[in-house]
Amino acid sequence: FISMHTYGGLPSFLAALAVVSLAGFLALYYAAACCVWVKFAPVNAAAQATVFAALWLLAELMRAIWFTGFPWGAAGYAHSQGPLAGYAPWLGAYAMCAVAAWLAMMLAQLSRTTVLQRAVVVGVLLLPWGYQLSGLSFSAPAGTQSVTLLQGNIPQDEKFQGGTGVPMALRWYGEQIRDARTSLVVAPETAIPLLPQQLPEGYLEAIQQHFATGEQAVLVGIPLGSFKDGYSNSVIGLKPGLVKPYIYAKHHLVPFGEFIPPLFRWFTEMMSIPLGDFNRGSVGQASFEWKGQRLAPNICYEDLFGEEIGANFSDAAKAPTILVNISNIGWFGNSIAIDQHLLISRMRAIEFERPMIRATNTGATVIIDHHGEVTHALERATRGVLVGDVQGRTGITPFAWWVSRFGVWPLWLLGMLVVAIAAAATRMPRKIK
């Protein structure tokens, strides 16, 4: 609502209608899952819970993948803290949705279950605690890097305005990038809000020259491309000895923001948001290597898609040691969206047992360790600089191993197999005693 009405100029009733329509559309996945469950649910309580969990898993996967995918707020993220968090390095967020659904259904049926079934529920609830208390880890320390994370807090309604936000961003980020004293400096998504060819003469060259020698490197968000070749939402990396800048191009684009879905141009034309069709980068782009660390950038809501981040973990020798998210959540104001996005980043850190550093325009600019805990944080909606140390990690979690090879296909197949067995069982003639 905030992005469409406050910054896009869409009338409030239309913005509210769009939000309700999106929520209603996404709810159809879960409504369909419940309808199928009612039709095919077995008699046995544990079997009922298993079928419900499989259907919920399929609904989450459909929401996350179909029609470009929108897994924001998936049920698994509610368990980035608590007893179920121990499942994340094994199963990932989507499968955790199924675990939570299974437990919820079993708990709902406790009054109708046997003592043995109740014991199973309690055992499953306690299992993650045992995992966490055991201290089991799939990763190992790989050195420490000092980082500076920049949060410009450029007002979103001025960010791309030539007379206000653009010179403000160029001046502040330029100064902070050059003044930083840590090994690595990270500036957020579109921190430099102009294409290189649109920048004041010598601006980008001065930054490149600053990092051409010495002991520092920088990752900064900037749009790249041309009218002829198309544009990309990108990160450039600079460090000593680099012949040409490192480039990461965003792969998972935001519908209505970075590309316009078919048949919806009329809707985007009603808003005064600078929209366009960006080029997609590839999945599994190379990491930025610096001082023994392999830093894997992702932009904005790309960290919602663990299966795409997982593509970087197919080769343990080249797997990232640090994950880097650069974002601009300013489109959503100082709202709960900041907290939700932070929770998602924390889940990625737990799944892969990798630290995640986040540089954003308005928040949450933080350092997250490989346990998903926030160790350093800036106050949101303020202009500031966050300085801290981050410990890189090597090693592959079970989730990273299987998702890097098979994607989420094992989850699709498992969910469909359970539902197929339940459907077949309902058609089998029952013996009359």
Q: Smallest Cα–Cα separation from 308: which of 221, 241, 386, 250?
A: 250
**320 within domain boundaries:** yes
**Cβ contacts of 385 within 8 Å, gap of 6 or more:** 148, 149, 150, 151, 176, 180, 378
Same domain, 275 and 417: no
The whole domain housing 111 covers: 40-137+408-427
Catalytic residue among 97, 159, 300, 302: 300
Q: Lowest mean pLDDT of 31-45, 238-252, 409-423, name the range.
A: 31-45
Q: Among this protein's residues, is 158 annotated catalytic?
A: no
**21 within domain boundaries:** no
Q: What is the pLDDT of residue 26?
A: 86
pTM value is 0.89
Q: Among this protein's residues, is 300 annotated catalytic?
A: yes
Single-letter residue type at 372? G
Same domain, 120 and 144: no
**What distance in Å separates the CA atoms of residue 15 and residue 1, rounded to the nearest whole number?**
5
> pLDDT tier at 432 (50, 70, 90 boundaries)?
very low
**What distance in Å separates the CA atoms of residue 143 and residue 123, rounded to the nearest whole number?**
38
Domains held by the chain: number: 2
Same domain, 218 and 117: no
Same domain, 97 and 214: no
Same domain, 209 and 111: no
Burial class, 21, CB count within 10 angstroms (exposed 0-12 / middle 13-18 / buried 19+): exposed
Same domain, 112 and 230: no
**368 within domain boundaries:** yes
Which tens digits make up the pLDDT trace of 303-358? 999 999 999 999 999 999 999 999 998 767 788 889 999 999 999 999 999 999 99
Same domain, 133 and 144: no
Same domain, 102 and 214: no
**199 within domain boundaries:** yes
Same domain, 252 and 380: yes
Q: Among this protein's residues, is 250 annotated catalytic?
A: yes
Catalytic residue among 250, 258, 307, 353: 250
Which tens digits make up the pLDDT trace of 389-399? 999 999 999 99
Q: Name the one residue in this structure whose structure tokens are 């640090």.
A: 322
Structure tokens at 20: 């309700």
Q: Name the one residue in this structure whose structure tokens are 């998210």.
A: 325
Same domain, 340 and 381: yes
Catalytic residue among 60, 189, 307, 353: 189
Q: What is the mean pLDDT of the chain?
A: 87
Same domain, 280 and 351: yes
**What distance in Å separates the CA atoms of residue 184 and residue 29, rounded to the nearest whole number?**
43
**208 within domain boundaries:** yes
Which tens digits make up the pLDDT trace of 252-275? 887 766 656 656 655 555 555 555
**25 within domain boundaries:** no
Burial class, 19, CB count within 10 angstroms (exposed 0-12 / middle 13-18 / buried 19+): middle
**6 within domain boundaries:** no
Same domain, 155 and 123: no
